[in-house]
Amino acid sequence: MRIGVFVCNCGTNIAGTVDTKKVAAEALGFADVVYATNYMYTCSEPGQQEIQRAIAEQGLQGVVVAACSPRMHEPTFRRAVEKAGLNRYMFEMANIREHVSWIGNDREANTSKAIDLVRMAVAKLRFNAPLFSSKMPVNKRLLVIGGGVAGIQAALDCADGGMDVVMVERQQYIGGKMAKLDKTFPTIDCSSCILGPKMVDVAQKENITLYAASEIESISGYIGNFTVEIRKKTTFVNWEACTGCGACMEKCPSKKAADYFNEGLGAARAINIPFPQAIPKKAMIDAAYCRQLNGKKCGVCAKICPVKAIDFEMKDEIVTEKVGAIIVATGYDLFDHAVYGEYGGGRYPDVISGLQYERILSASGPFGGHIRRPSDGKEPKEIVFISCVGSRDASVGRPYCSGICCMYIAKQAILTRDHLPESNSYVFYMDIRSPGKNYDEFVRRAQEEYGVQYIRGRVGKIYRRGERMVVQGADTLLGVQVEVEADLVVLATGVESSLGAGELAEKLRISYDQYGFYMESHPKLRPVETNTAGVYLAGACQGPKDIPSSVAQGSAAASKVQSLFAHDTIETNPQVALVNERNCIACGKCIQVCPFGAIQWKELRGGIKKAEVLASVCQGCGVCNATCPPKAIQLQHATDNQILAEVNELCA
Amino acid sequence: MERTNTLSIQQSRDSEFIREVEEESGQSVSKCYQCGNCMASCVYTFAYDYPVTQIMRLIQLGQRDSVLKSDAIWLCANCQACTTRCPNNIDVAQVMETLRIMSRKEHTVSQPDIQAFYDEFLRSVKTFGRVFETGLLPVYNFRAKKPFTDLDLAPRLLKKGKLTFFPAMVKKRQKIAEIFEVVKRDRFSKDGKTRPEAHSAKTDS
Amino acid sequence: MKRVAYYKGCSLEGLAAEYDRSTRLVCEAFGIELVEIPDWNCCGSTPAHSYDPLLSAALAGRNLAIAADQGCEMVMSPCPGCLKSLKGAQETCEDPKLRKPFVDLVGRDVDGMKTVSLLQLLYEEVGPEALQKAVRRPLTGHTLIPYYGCLLTRPAQKAKFDDPENPVSLDRLLEATGAAVPDFPYKTECCGATYGVTRNDFVGRLSGRILDMAERLGGEAIVVACPLCQQNLDMRQDQINKYRSSAFHLPVPYISQVLGLALGMSPKMLGLDKLCVSPDILLEDRTQDREAQGSAG
Amino acid sequence: MTDSNPRSSAPAEDTAANRQGIKIVGFLCNWCSYGGADTAGVCRFKQPTDLRVVRIPCTGRMDPLFIAKSLIYGVDGVLVSGCHPRDCHYAVGNFYARRRMEAFKAFLPFMGIDTRRFKYTWVSASEGQQWQKVVTEFSEQIHMLGPNPGVELRSGEILKVSSGLK
Amino acid sequence: MLETDRNQLHKCVEEALPELDMMIGWTRCDPLQTTPVFIRDAKSISSLTLGPFCSQNLAGYLVKPPALDAPPKPDAKPIGICVKGCDSRSLVALIQEKFITRQRVRIFGIPCGGTVDWRKVARHVELGSVKSADVQDRVLVIEDSTTTHRIALEEVLSRKCLGCRHPNPVISDVLIGAEVSPRSTGMETSYRDVDELDAKPLEERLAFWQSELDRCIRCYACRNACPLCVCQDRCIVETREPRWLTQHVGVPEKFLFHFIHAMHLAGRCTGCGECERVCPMDIPVTLIKEKLNKIMEEMLGYSAGLDPEAVPPLLTFNPGETEI
């Protein structure tokens, strides 16, 4: 092999502490190296031309560039050598900037280390072989997981672009948390007025297939070609037939079912359509409360249903969908304030969560939009809001800021004043975080126009005294303890990752942080992509977010999908495992350890079995290679011989 | 302890003080973000010159004198409410304890009568091995110049047979006295500073 | 028979002698053998700890060392203040930097032992169910206020028992006697602690509001598990009344006395007569009183 | 507090005399630790120069035999570093690696090879400072141990060792 | 007693043979040794033997290529095989790794009181002059031309037998003879040799292996005899793709060869001792694997060849094990 070595000065970045001339001179002595030089900026246009010129003039078959990190410029140089007619994998980089010149000042030591790294790169290159990508068709259907506002936005954007969309929602209805809100900050728009039409659109678009009351069972495949199994949970109602007339609800004798939509305030019927604008507007039976399903004689709904949609024998059903991309928009859950023993640990009915208060405020809520307190239905006069409950609190394992609470408290305090002009609202806060457009003005308005009393300090304890709750807190600005007797206490419960986020991430093979929020590819530059190609993020599943940001991310993820779907095919990565059948002893260990199910049995004539890699599924981790006893399976571009060649240079 | 209207941050900052408090208490004082929960939870806030939150703030600013001469650190009853509720897992009560020990060493105790009571208590322990409740009070009253403290209780307690007139004594009092001597010797062996290995019981929370 | 080392502490030898007496009786009734630590000494309490942590650790640790030498694996102290010192000694013993000076002073390590309060011992070794079965004189119809005090469950990582904010072990034990036990919001609020002597007014204020809340909730007695709390609430109740211009008359028995009563022991044996505020109201038999049963709880 | 600036915490004086010709091979996963080493470089966190990095896709690719090969043939130290558990780019590669390396680490000393010459660790792409710490500490440890004697018999030095086997 | 057992074996095999493809067992080849025998004909059944001289582990014969390359037809008859306790664990391991199916084998399990290591016998008598050998009441009785030697069986047992925990087959269809009680029941007593070497300083351990492995002639007998070394001629110590080892004769090459052998058996080795038995240079090669077996047992609570359903520990993981 004829190898050329190009040592980059990177201005003074490398040449400042590495003798690049000497490195090049030494490289000329390495086996197969026929050309070596140093250059000011190898990645520059003239630098790349210099490489291309040398390939042509010296008849080079492989190129080593000693420069910065391959994570920086490997793609650049691969393109450059490809333009000069070499296979892009006949190229290696030695990282002599991040790993050498920038981390030590001893010129002599740096130079000798750089020489070693170049020697290793050359040794590896001698075992490189041309690799070729193949093209795979892209299935231009999108799966959206989660039907909250972020998922709806993404689905509608893609559907508008003419793509087929499959939406899976865990709940019986779409709309997510936003569907439960009364008004939205800072405009005091009615939440259901702005979300409603979008929900209807989802139901009406012919190219959107909606699976509500469904969950992801399994996901296999890869970008462009995912296969998704969806579990349609038992609803006990044939949704094909159900017209959402609600007759069953009216007659259902089981009246004390948990009202999840109203956050446990009030009660629902065992057969239920959670709210009048629900999409899909279909009834579902809560098996825990249904008399018939608990062995009692009933079946009233089945008798009353005009279209005979009730089916007590119904079972979960698995459906399979094939898609080319996935947008994850599974949203968030609310922190459960029961861990705050000092706030009653959930024992006091009049100490409620922010979302419960939202339901109280809502005209479709348990009290028809009249503010009453849960314990006795009385109208509260003194209302205390406490921020940062389950946010910025390391002692409960939630050290992060939930980002939305300061704003929703201000909104709720304003709405409270609108509903009950005679009431007084108090907000205990640590800091006010309102960095959005017109956000801070909104919080100021709560204080200046609506007379909400903001108290800078945390609350130490809430306890009952007679009919009222005593809120014992601090005003740190004055340096005094303060006490407020309240009729109702609203805790600004923080945002946490959605229940089961980790399990879904495992199915999707995407990363998540210690709190269960999904990790984006790059916090600034790739905010809606994940490290698994073809899987994108939108909304609060990635971290706490308000509605505008969630919608923006929904659209951003949709545009990523549309640019993927603009192509008919995608190129596969050829750096995958490959089986040398002659050496394969069919022990099956590679199949056992592959994290991606990318290896399968292949039967040769005479019934002889061998392992076979599905190149398009293989992600290139190399676990199989490390496991295979006769090393019959080799990860291309990181073969045993290539790694051994590098190690051997150090053993000598 | 004087409150001034302008605090010269650089000049008044004693970074050695911050380091000492953190090292002796094993707590990271910079974690405090002054939410006020300790102040809100402390039942003695009414009596303090500086509420606990401000004590923490003063430590962050390196205000050695204000902290070590404060009433607050001596009025703290170590009831642990602050520690239990601190959102940043700071053992605030431990910090207060550390400050008390420091103020004793630096002779800046703001509450001489409380110190007198503690001293008398320890004297009793050192002498008898146990605390002699009936004997403790009169001596304290004498030293703290509050001769009538709890005098009202005496007749009733006498009637209930609750007052004893002879101290119960530990047999191996020698051993107890030895513990006192060793601790005292180590404590003042290095220029009045604590022994080098004497970090707080908690090194990491 | 469960064998437990017993560290009673100075208070139980003086002002709280009845706590000692009733504790022994109740433990005996449930087959727990209390072995008083021979030649025990004072734990040093707050004064020792605010003088030097090692002094406190060594004073308390000496007692643990004696108990360990006796072959006991569990040490019980009815006084939460003493218990805090004992646990502090164990922590010091676990601290790599302080272990050596500590062991040099007390002669051995003590970190392997389990240190518990009387409440924890009764709750974990006996439990509400066994208690309920053993009750001979039910306290049905009486309303008892469970008061834990500040140190019994705090801080949680040291106490390792019950909930620091809303403990329920005492509630459960009292309920097992048949008594009504309201949700008492000041369960863990500080009573004024050692300031009984030095800052009388603190106790007036802090213990005063505890008595006030107990009365508001219809309590007939406040049940405690700490000699200091008992002194502040009972012995100083007159001082508090003077300070607040109030007229509280609430007996403050120890948990051991109340349980002893329920087990059918004689009030005299339990030292109920030693309390400053007479607890005679608890002796009324209301089991036949249907009305009382109806309103209890 | 100002002392925590990693740039000012000078590692062991890195002179040719101090180096004793030590060579350490580092097997770094492409996604986390190689990135972490890059981050350390970008931040100019100074490190000893003994380490030579081999880029591998994942610690799951790590056959312990690469470590055996290196140490048997006289490389002075082997450092393997990958993504933190649960953060593996390939989801579970480092879980396989952890078991294999842990077992291998326990095995090495039985064969007479100093197990302190091998270390594995987890460093993410953002943990430049942590990478500096890992490299500095490990390099110092290898310097402390000195050059790897290897397994080659020195001439005429066949030691008679009683096997003690029955 | 041996006689009774042998008769029982003959009878059982006779009954089973018509349903079998063949029967693999041992036959006496000289007074102190047996050799494997492959029986298809009922007439040869009488040559089958059992007892303390049957040292070979026959399980390996089931999986060596070319048998491995040509999978059995679905209607193929099962193969009968004689196994001692240790051999049976090899069978389990092979079933575990799906090299054979349970249905493929008819297992004649033989409880074993230990096998005789002829090398140890040679310390007592001139092997060439031995006329006959027999074991009676755990005493090896040897007749040579002049005298009768009586050697305690304990003195001449194979090294692996001394810490044996599974003298009775862990899997079998037919059990021949009575079960015997294990010599060792826990880790403390079954890894004595490992512990002894581990107790020595690092330098001495290195010197020990240097002097032992220096003798290795890389004949690969150890590998070939191992029932779990399924790669055989594809073994990476001989391939160029990839090229792990050169043909250079040096101690490092020998070390790396034994590392490869050991690491490929980590979490799989059942400790049958075949590698050591066949070593012509008398190198304690099983000891290397014993150490790994001990690590697996201590670290992961795993012993190979006991549970046909278990997954070998290095082919799986547990996300929760942060401190293994």
Residue A83 exposed, middle or buried by CB count within 10 Å (0-12, 13-18, 19+): middle
CB B146 within 8 A of CB C197: no
∠ at Cα B197 (B196, B199), nearest 5°?
Answer: 105
**Considering the domain boundaries, does residue E324 fall inside one?**
no
| Cβ-Cβ contacts under 8 Å, A641 against chain E | 241-243
Please list, residue by residue across E69-97, b when 16 or more beta carbons sit within 10 angstroms of its beta carbon and e when fewer do.
eeebeeeeebbbbbbbbbbbbbbbbbbbb
Record: contact A474-B39, CB cut-off 8 A: yes
Domains A3-125 and A141-233+316-331+498-565 share a fold: no
Q: Tell whether B76 and B159 lie within a shared domain.
A: no
Span B164-184, pLDDT tens digits: 777 788 888 888 999 999 888
What value does the mean pLDDT take over residues E314-324?
81
Name all chains with 3 or more CB-CB pairs below 8 Å to chain E: A, D
Residues of B in contact with C89 (CB under 8 A): none
Query: Is D77 strand, coil or helix?
Result: strand
DSSP string, C215-278: HHTT-SEEEBS-HHHHIIIIITHHHHHHHHT--------BHHHHHHHHTT--TTTTTGGGSSS-
Average confidence (pLDDT) over B52-61 = 97
Confidence of residue A50 (pLDDT cuts 50, 70, 90): very high
- Is there a single domain that holds both residue B26 and residue B100? yes
B117 and B101 fall within a common domain? no
* Test mutation, B103, B108, B130, chain C, max C CBs within 10 A: B130
- The CATH number that applies at residue B99 is 1.10.1060
Interface of A with C (CB under 8 A): 340-342, 344-345, 347, 463-466, 470
What is the pLDDT of chain D when averaged over all its residues? 85
Task: Give the pLDDT score at B192.
Answer: 40
CB spacing of E321 vs D99 below 8 angstroms? yes
* Residue-wise pLDDT tens digits, A595-623: 888 899 999 888 888 999 988 888 899 99
CB E257 within 8 A of CB E218: yes
Tell me how far the alpha carbon of residue A449 is from its chain's centroid. Answer: 39
Size of interface B-C (CB pairs under 8 A): 174
pLDDT at B198: 37
Q: From CA A641, how far away is CA E246, in angstroms rounded?
A: 13
pLDDT top residue among C11 and A145: A145
Residues 250-289 of E with CB under 8 A from D: 250-252, 255-256, 259-260, 262-263, 266-267, 284, 287-288
A333-496 carries CATH number 3.50.50.60: yes
B155 HSE (CA, 13 A, CB side): 1
Examine the pLDDT at D95 and tell me if it is beyond 60.
Answer: yes
Helix boundaries (H) for chain C: 17-29, 45-49, 53-69, 80-94, 99-106, 118-121, 127-134, 156-159, 169-176, 195-198, 200-216, 227-230, 237-244, 255-262, 290-295
Which residues lie closer than 8 Å to D44 by C-beta, 6 or more apart?
A: A102, A103, D7
- The pLDDT tens digits for E301-316 are 999 999 999 999 999 9
Domain boundary among B105, B139, B173: B105
CB A344 within 8 A of CB A465: no
For residue C293, pLDDT over 80 is answered with no
In degrees rounded to 5, what are phi and psi of residue E137? 50, 50
Q: Are residues B101 and B135 in the same domain?
A: no
Mutate to test the interface with E, among D70, D99, D148 (most CBs of E within 10 A): D99
Tell me which of 3.30.70.20, 3.40.30.10, 3.30.390.30, 3.40.50.720 is the CATH number of domain A577-636. 3.30.70.20
Chain E residues within 8 A of A589 when measuring between CB atoms:
97, 315
Q: Determine contact: E249 vs chain D, CB below 8 A.
A: no
What local confidence, expressed as pLDDT, does residue B202 receive?
A: 35
Check if the beta carbon of residue B192 is closer than 8 Å to that of residue C48: no
Task: Show contacts of E131-139: CB within 8 Å, 24+ apart.
Answer: E131/E31, E132/E31, E133/E31, E133/E32, E133/E53, E135/E2, E135/E51, E135/E52, E138/E113
Q: Which of residues 192-251 of C touch B (CB under 8 A)?
A: 192-200, 202, 205-206, 235-236, 238-239
DSSP E44: G
Residues E108 and E126 in one domain: no
Domains in chain C with CATH codes: 2-117 (1.20.1050.140), 135-295 (3.40.50.11810)
Integer Cα distance of C116 and C83 in angstroms: 7
pLDDT in tens, A543-557: 999 999 999 999 999
* Strand spans (E) along A335-452: 351-353, 382-389, 424-429
pLDDT band at D166 (very low <50, low <70, confident <90, very high): low
At residue E283, what is the residue type?
I
Cα distance from E41 to chain D (closest Cα, Å)?
41
Chains near C, with 3+ CB pairs < 8 A? A, B
Quick one: E45 and E91 in the same domain?
A: yes
Residue in A117, A621, A646 nearest the CB of D58: A621
Burial class (CB in 10 A: 0-12, 13-18, 19+), C116: buried
Q: Testing the interface with B: which of A398, A458, A470, A471 to mutate, by most B Cβ within 10 A?
A: A458
Q: Residues A63, A7: contact at Cβ < 8 Å?
A: no
Cβ-based neighbours of E272, under 8 Å, separated by 6 or more: E57, E59, E86, E87, E89, E90, E160, E227
Alpha helices in A220-350 (DSSP H): 247-251, 300-304
How many CB atoms sit inside 10 A of residue E323's CB? 5
Q: Rounded mean pLDDT of A319-331?
A: 98
Same domain as B95, residue B32: yes
Least CB–CB distance from E242: residue in A582, A607, A640: A640
At residue A442, does pLDDT exceed 90? Answer: yes
Domain that holds residue E123: 118-156
Q: State how many domains chain E has.
A: 2
E301 φ/ψ sector (left φ>0, alpha ψ -120 to 50, else beta): left
Task: Summarize pLDDT for C47-102 with one digit per residue, the tens.
Answer: 998 888 899 999 999 999 999 998 889 999 999 999 999 999 999 999 888 898 99
- Shared-domain flag, residues B28 and B89: yes
Strand partners, B181: none
Average per-residue pLDDT for chain B: 84
Residue E71 confidence class, pLDDT cut points 50, 70, 90: low
Q: Tens digits of per-residue pLDDT, B71-99? A: 999 999 999 999 999 999 999 999 999 99
Share above pLDDT 70 across residues of chain B, in percent, rounded to a whole number: 89
For residue C152, give the nearest of C205, C190, C112 by alpha carbon: C190
Interface test with C, best of B38, B84, B159 (most C CBs within 10 A): B84
Separation of alpha carbons A604 and A611, rounded Å: 10
Residue D91 pLDDT level (bands cut at 50, 70, 90): confident
Angle at A70 between CA A68 and CA A75, to 5 degrees: 115
Q: Is-contact C191 C251, C-beta < 8 A?
A: no
Return d(Cα C116, Cα A193) in angstroms, integer: 60
Instruction: Say if residue E147 is in the same domain as residue E185.
Output: no
Say yes or no for a CB contact (<8 Å) between B197 and C97. yes
Residues A40 and A64 sit within 8 Å (Cβ to Cβ) = no
**Same domain as B96, residue B18:** yes
Q: A626 vs D48: CB contact, 8 Å cut-off?
A: no
Contact B137, C197 (CB under 8 A): yes
Residue-wise pLDDT tens digits, A92-140? 999 999 999 999 999 999 999 999 999 999 999 999 999 999 898 999 9
Residue at a domain's end among E156, E183, E216: E156
Q: Are E100 and E134 in a shared domain?
A: no
Contacts of E292 in chain D (CB under 8 A): 103, 107
Q: Which of A536-540, A614-618, B155-159, E184-188 has the highest average model confidence (pLDDT)?
A: A536-540
Structure tokens at C143: 């309303």
- Supply the pLDDT for residue C198: 82
With a cut of 50, say whether residue B204 has pLDDT above it. Answer: no
Look up the pTM and report it.
0.73
Phi and psi at residue E36, to the nearest 5°? -65, 145
Boundary residue ending a domain (E99, E134, E156): E156
Go through A599-609 and write b for each residue having 16 or more CB atoms within 10 A of its CB, e for each that does not. beeeeeeeeee
Give domain status of residue E167, yes or no: yes
Q: Which CATH number fits domain A3-125: 3.30.1490, 3.30.230, 1.10.760, 3.40.50?
A: 3.40.50
Whether D98 sits inside 8 A of E193 (CB atoms) is no
For residues D27-32, average pLDDT? 94
Residue A246 predicted with pLDDT over 60? yes
Task: Considering only the beta carbons, identify the residue of E71, E230, E311 that sits closest to A585.
Answer: E230
In a domain, B86, yes or no: yes
Closest CA–CA distance from residue D97 to any residue of chain A (Å): 8
Residue B53 has pLDDT above 60, yes or no: yes
Q: Which of 147-166 (B) contact C at CB < 8 A?
A: 149-150, 152-153, 156-157, 160-164
Decide which of E156, E186, E211 is a domain's last residue.
Answer: E156
Displacement of CA A425 from its chain's centroid (Å): 37
CA distance E292 to E310: 18
On whether both E223 and E107 belong to a single domain, the answer is: yes
Shortest Cα distance from B105 to chain A (angstroms)? 28
Does a structural domain hold residue B199?
no
B100 shares a domain with B121: no
User: Would you call A95 and D89 a contact, using CB atoms and an 8 Å cutoff?
Assistant: no
Domain assignment of residue B116, yes or no? yes
Residue A323 has pLDDT above 80, yes or no: yes
Chain A partners of D15 at a C-beta cutoff of 8 Å?
A: 106, 109
Q: Report yes or no: A490 and A357 within 8 Å, Cβ to Cβ.
A: yes
B47 touching A, CB under 8 A?
Answer: no
Q: Is the pLDDT of residue A431 over 50?
A: yes
pLDDT tens track for C192-229? 877 877 888 999 999 999 999 999 999 999 999 999 99
Contact B97 C193 (CB under 8 A): no
* One domain for residues B29 and B51: yes
Q: Which of E170, E173, E193 is nearest to E182 (CA)?
A: E170
Q: Is A405 helix (H, G, I), strand (E, B) or coil?
A: helix
Identify the CATH number of the domain defined by range A141-233+316-331+498-565.
3.50.50.60
User: For residue A648, what is the nearest residue in chain E, using CA coordinates?
Assistant: E244
pLDDT bin (cut points 50, 70, 90) of residue B132 is: confident
Round the average pLDDT of chain E to a whole number and report it.
91
Q: What is the mean pLDDT of residues D82-97?
A: 89
| Proportion of chain C above pLDDT 90, given as a percent | 77
Q: Say whether both E122 and E209 belong to one domain.
A: no
Q: What is the ipTM of this complex?
A: 0.68
Inter-chain contact B199–C52, Cβ cutoff 8 Å? no
pLDDT range class, residue E3, cuts 50, 70, 90: confident
CB-defined contacts D:E, below 8 A: 122
Neighbouring residues of C212: CB distance < 8 A, sequence distance ≥ 6: C246, C248
Residues in chain A: 652
Summary mean pLDDT of chain C = 92
Ordered by where they begin, the domains of chain D are: 22-145 (3.40.50)
CB E117 within 8 A of CB E91: no
Q: Using CB atoms, pick whichever of C62, C97, C200 lies closest to residue B175.
A: C62
Confidence of residue B114 (pLDDT cuts 50, 70, 90): confident
Cβ contact, residue pair D96, A623, below 8 Å: yes
Numbers of helices and strands, H then E, in chain B: 12, 0
Q: Is chain A adjacent to chain E, meaning 3+ CB pairs within 8 angstroms?
A: yes
Measure C150 CA to nearest chain B CA, in Å. 5
Whether residue B51 is found in the same domain as residue B90: yes
Q: Which of B125-134, C22-31, C190-199 has the highest mean pLDDT?
A: C22-31
E248 close to A (CB below 8 A): no
Tokens of A410: 């201000």
Residue A426 forms beta bridges with which residues?
A384, A453
* Record: contact C48-B125, CB cut-off 8 A: yes
Number of domains in chain B: 2
Q: What is the pLDDT averaged over residues A440-453?
A: 97
Cβ of E203 under 8 Å from any chain D Cβ? Answer: yes
The torsion angle over the Cα atoms of residues E259, E262, E267 and E268, rounded to 10 degrees, is 150
Cβ atoms within 10 Å, residue A75: 11
Neighbours of chain D (3+ CB pairs under 8 A): A, E
Is residue E323 domain-resident? Answer: no
* Domain, as residue range, for B122: 112-187
